[in-house]
Amino acid sequence: IVVERRANGPYADLFDFCRRVDKRLVNRRAIEALVRAGSFDSIAPDRAALLASVGMAMGAAEQAERQAAQNSLFGDAEAVRVPPGAMAPVKPWDMRQTLLEEKLALGFYLSAHLFSVYAPALEGFPRTALAKLQPSDGRIWMAGIIAQARTQMTRRGKMLVVTLDDGSAQIEMTVFSELYDRHRDKLKEDALLVISGKVQRDDFSGGVRVSAEEVFDLAGLRERYATRLRIAVNGQADAKRLMEMLGPYRMNGGDGNGACGVTVHCETGGAVCDVALGDAWRVRPDERLIEALAAWLEPQNVRV
């Protein structure tokens, strides 16, 4: 029905789409799925605003149909059509939310792999790509998105079997009961997981078998291992604003657990310098601080 109605001309906007399709065949749930999957991107790229406007667009279409039935002079319903700029004013989705919405509609990520959202934040952390895992006697660091998780009962109690995916490969990993109980809030589908564990040969499958020994989300990893926050303020060297943003996250001398040094990178004209702030300006690498700095200076200028 969507393609058939489009034969009369391309859809101008979401409101035009809702006015022209048969709502008995293309209901609200179907329209919302089309928005989540990106079907309207060529008309309006802001999927968040589109999704928030579906109800308004369907209401306008129904009003147009009622008016057309009452008065043949307004049979084309143009008198009540909502202008394109009337979409709901909501915050646009970031890439993470866009990918999660795609998966909700399609069952998989379409625009990119969800791990790509977190990869820049893990650039400075030594880990092994899942496709390159090899059996080892020591611990190996790895990271990925939880694609699937299921519980099993063993003699040691409840065990979680997690399918981890970093875009290069998928592996199954076991999380035994004590570790599972401590970190069950992190062990959810579509969550980023950073693991230190043992990799052994799996003779049954011919691949590898992974057992987790330490489990972190991104915030926990930063709190445990971050040593420095690097901030590039090229062209936006507002010292007062920077102090105000860092202030709430200072560690009162810097000796507390999770304290992170701060380096400010500056480039002006032909001069380049890195300024390491003193211990009094060591901070907690809190996600709220990272997000606020990234919103001001662009994400690529903020690195932990």
| DSSP structure string for 38-52 | TTTTTT---HHHHHH
Looking at residue 154, what is its pLDDT?
A: 80
Per-residue model confidence as pLDDT tens digits over 121-161: 998 888 999 999 999 989 999 999 999 999 988 877 789 99
Local confidence band at 255 (pLDDT 50, 70, 90 cut-offs): low
Q: What is the mean pLDDT of residues 172-196?
A: 93
pLDDT of residue 168: 93
Which residue is associated with the tokens 């611990």? Answer: 139
Q: What is the mean pLDDT of residues 237-253?
A: 85
Per-residue pLDDT, 83: 55
Helix or strand holding residue 232 (H, E): strand 228-232
pLDDT of residue 35: 96
Q: Which residues pair with 164 in a beta bridge?
A: 146, 171
Distance CA 282, CA 297 (A): 19
pLDDT at 186: 92
Report the alpha-carbon distance of residue 43 to residue 228 in Å, rounded: 43
Query: Measured between alpha carbons, how far is 31 from 241 in angstroms, rounded to an integer?
Result: 43
Stretch 175-190: mean pLDDT: 92
Burial class (CB in 10 A: 0-12, 13-18, 19+), 70: exposed
| pLDDT value for 77 | 45
pLDDT at 254 exceeding the cut of 50: no
User: Order of strands across the sheet with 302-303?
Assistant: 271-276, 261-268, 228-232, 302-303
> How many residues are there in the chain?
304
**Sequence-separated (6 or more) residues with CB below 8 Å from residue 23:** 58, 61, 62
Q: How far is CA 272 from the centre of its chain?
A: 33
What pLDDT digit, counting tens, does each position of 45-77 carry? 999 999 999 999 998 888 877 777 666 544 454
pLDDT digits (tens, 9 = 90+) for 155-178: 777 899 999 999 999 999 999 988
pLDDT at 78 over 70: no
Tokens of 281: 């300006």
